[in-house]
Structure 1
């Protein structure tokens, strides 16, 4: 997939910006606070209905404006459609594809798969298991058609079960109507996740040493309960403790991707630079496997690349992005630093955009692109 056109209206400090990106590499430079990261943020919102910077919708809207509106034209793999997202100060969200309402954020996400690499991405190692579950489920969502509905069933059943557990005199049989769908959905989710992780490990192991030369680096999938036990038995055996604590302590909602070096958490062993390289390898492996399994390509958003990686590892990331033949948007403060990694790649179509005080100008032409229509 690639984004052919992008229109931004009233997003943070960008009043109005319109871009016709390259289907390959787009370099966006400008001073800190100029609005360059907001361009990546706009693409992420078009993909997921939300920002990678904040879940607060009011923070997205330019001061004094009633709402933010984004439009994009997506093409590739036989698809050509327009997508749009608008958010008002009241919180109302309108999602559209080809002018028609989109039923869910999940449907929106299927049109424009996006991978973001930014400063927050490094919480993949240091953050809570929830962050790593989200990493796992991005891939599972895009390659397993039944996953999302199964996940919704599990969430609904878990919520109802936890609500009942908070009643002092609850009996095990009263949980049965919710335990049955929860058990079925949980086991299906585990099967989906385990299958994807096994394939991911194969891809990851084949490329990780390009990014970080560390021995005994291992990815292990933890399902959220003892692998030797059936989930039905886990719920039955844990009833008393679950009731005392008022929530279901084990299950797919506790799954994790454990990343270790010599048996120790990678975040405790690796330097900050090595951690950044490892996270890049995880993100590249995920996009690479996504392409292998679906025949599609995701869009990569890389924020402030020159400051996050040293020259050698930046060159390695660039090499892998080019090898994947995916569309890339990369930001940085200095134009020369961004361009340096692509100077010896004449076969790659590179566009450069300058952002200053919320204004976006293609560097080559010195004039904004023509207006993008909905």
Structure 2
């Protein structure tokens, strides 16, 4: 889904602005601290209703204002908007003028994929980041997953509450455990199905690329760890761990412990692969997700890339952007180096019309090749 126009007011250090963004690729150039990341944050807020920089939306509001407001006009003429009022402590999400029932309605309308320098730590970070990566794909590719996940999450929270209450009757805990097990198995089924498709797409992409990619394909193995042993039933494992779980006050096995494990020749990939190889692998994982989204749901994704130049050299910058555009994505990309932006836009303009904006002290202005 293309974002044709975006309007922001009251976001961090950004001046109020309306940008015409009806282009496959939009470059946002400016020095560090100029407000580039705040602009990406505004786009993220518009499509997710949350920030990737702060859990408290009040922190996003400009210090001199009481609220922020984000509006976007999408390619099919639909309109979405998100606002947060600091004094009223009220967040509003609207779709075509009507209040949305949940943030997931936004996510369904405008699939957003965020790429920051931290994204390239997917292999080195903890399993929670890899679960979020997996669940983002399942959520967008399998429509029924949202309701399954929401029910499972409520059951996990309730079971943990019962575990913390030492006086709670074991019979009541058993009832909630049965429901938790049933929901957990459904989560596992959805994740496993998506994982298998993702790995097939990843292998295909790597084998179609350069010799560097082919060498990487021959090394890499991706395994899905569902969060409990394949050699025992979940019911049995929960019964075995019940005493320990009651002492700790939380459930020790289940989908909330799932992980994607990457290895090369039987050794953890983060210990074997160079930083460059890790970047290539993660880039192809992201591309595989976008391909599945397009093939399974006929949906195109908006990709937000913050500080492209921080992690990739110029040729890989071009290859990533070109491939994303070939997959039907609209890309918003921040960069510091104005010359690199110009070179990339000139190369991409052979197929795609790029738009460029300059950010300085929170002021966003159109940038033309001759400027």
| Short-chain TM bin | over 0.9
Residue 65 of structure 1 pairs with residue 65 of structure 2: yes
Please give the secondary structure, in 2, of the residue aligned with 1:126.
Answer: coil
Q: Following TM superposition, by how much is the alpha carbon of 1:366 offset from its aligned partner in structure 2, in angstroms?
A: 10
Per the alignment, residue 227 of structure 1 pairs with 230
Per the alignment, residue 37 of structure 1 pairs with 37
Please give the secondary structure, in 2, of the residue aligned with 1:344.
Answer: helix
Per the alignment, residue 347 of structure 1 pairs with 351
Q: Following TM superposition, by how much is the alpha carbon of 1:167 offset from its aligned partner in structure 2, in angstroms?
A: 2.9
Residue range with higher mean Cα deviation, 310-319 or 188-197: 310-319
Please give the secondary structure, in 2, of the residue aligned with 1:361.
Answer: strand
Q: Following TM superposition, by how much is the alpha carbon of 1:263 offset from its aligned partner in structure 2, in angstroms?
A: 2.1
Per the alignment, residue 22 of structure 2 pairs with 22
Distance 1:63 1:169, change over 3 A: closer
Distance of 1:166 and 1:298 partners within structure 2: 42
Could you tell me which of 88, 92, 106 is aligned with 2:85? 88
Q: Following TM superposition, by how much is the alpha carbon of 1:196 offset from its aligned partner in structure 2, in angstroms?
A: 0.4
Distance of 1:20 and 1:333 partners within structure 2: 21
Residue 286 of structure 1 pairs with residue 283 of structure 2: no
Deviation string 1:334-356 (CA, Å, 9 cap, x unpaired) is 22202323423422111111111
Q: TM-score, normalised by structure 2?
A: 0.92
Q: TM-score, normalised by structure 1?
A: 0.92
Please give the secondary structure, in 2, of the residue aligned with 1:343.
Answer: helix
Residue 115 of structure 1 pairs with residue 113 of structure 2: yes
Please give the secondary structure, in 2, of the residue aligned with 1:86.
Answer: strand
Deviation string 1:183-204 (CA, Å, 9 cap, x unpaired) is 1111111000000010000111
Structure 1, unaligned runs of 5 or more:
368-374
Q: Following TM superposition, by how much is the alpha carbon of 1:237 offset from its aligned partner in structure 2, in angstroms?
A: 2.8
Q: Map 1:66-215 to 2 at 5 A.
A: 66-75=66-75, 79-90=76-87, 91-170=89-168, 172-208=170-206, 210=209, 212=213, 213-214=215-216, 215=218
Q: Map 1:229-268 to 2 at 5 A.
A: 229-268=232-271
Deviation string 1:258-290 (CA, Å, 9 cap, x unpaired) is 122222222222233332332222211111211
Q: Runs ≥4 in structure 1, deviation > 4 angstroms?
A: none
Residue range with higher mean Cα deviation, 131-140 or 322-331: 322-331
Please give the secondary structure, in 1, of the residue aligned with 2:15.
Answer: strand
Aligned length: 364
2:23–2:355 contact (8 Å) kept in structure 1: no
Deviation string 1:61-87 (CA, Å, 9 cap, x unpaired) is 111211111000112xxx431000011
1:172–1:239 contact (8 Å) kept in structure 2: no
Residue 359 of structure 1 pairs with residue 356 of structure 2: no
Residue range with higher mean Cα deviation, 154-163 or 293-302: 154-163
